[in-house]
Amino acid sequence: MARAFTTSSLVAEDVDVAFPLIHAASPDVGLATWRDFARGFVGLPSPYPAGAIGLRNEAGYLCGILTYRIDRDLRHGMVLSIDIFAALDVTGEVAAMRALLQAAEAKANELRCGVARIQIERSEGTQAQRLLASGYRQRASVFCKELAPPAVPT
């Protein structure tokens, strides 16, 4: 039996509901941090160069989320950059991930992006393997360094 999922832009009422998905993708992110982050794109008009898409299963439960923004890339031009990508559905996680990938690619087409770039925390593991199986390739490594917050001018 084929699974049916629906997607829609994340709205303010979805922010707290989406937190378990955010926490599964990034366990070190707290609810207050997520709320502050989400405030930057929830409720923006479509099409807008940043936002979030929620994925719901047949029962109406939020089982996937992605956040995106448009970037420019020297090689690819307009790129849909996806910073948060999480799909968790107890009855069909693979199907939920496929549906979320389809939503990402549809949004990239809508915003005239030639590339969808998905950032995940680790390149090993199930999520990376599923992305590879869906035609995505690892093209770069990202190095991060946490910096002290800038001093507040007095």
pLDDT band at 47 (very low <50, low <70, confident <90, very high): low
- SS percent in the chain: helix, strand, coil, step 5: 30, 25, 45
Structure tokens at 58: 């047949």
Nearest to 85 by CA among 45, 40, 54: 54
pLDDT band at 34 (very low <50, low <70, confident <90, very high): very high
Instruction: Please give the pLDDT value at position 46.
Output: 67
As a whole number of Å, the end-to-end CA separation of the chain is: 63
What percent of the chain is predicted at pLDDT more than 70? Answer: 94
- Domain 6-133: give its CATH architecture: 3-Layer(aba) Sandwich (3.40)
Q: Which residues pair with 84 in a beta bridge?
A: 67
pLDDT band at 20 (very low <50, low <70, confident <90, very high): very high
Please, are residues 81 and 119 in contact by the beta-carbon 8 Å criterion?
Answer: yes
Structure tokens at 14: 């979805």
* pLDDT (tens digit per residue) in 69-121: 999 999 889 999 999 999 887 777 788 999 999 999 999 999 999 999 998 87
* Residue-range domain boundaries for the chain: 6-133
Placement of tokens 């007095």 in the chain: 154
Cis-peptide, bond into residue 20, ω within 30° of zero: no
The predicted model gives 123-130 an average pLDDT of 75
What percent of the chain is predicted at pLDDT more than 90? Answer: 48
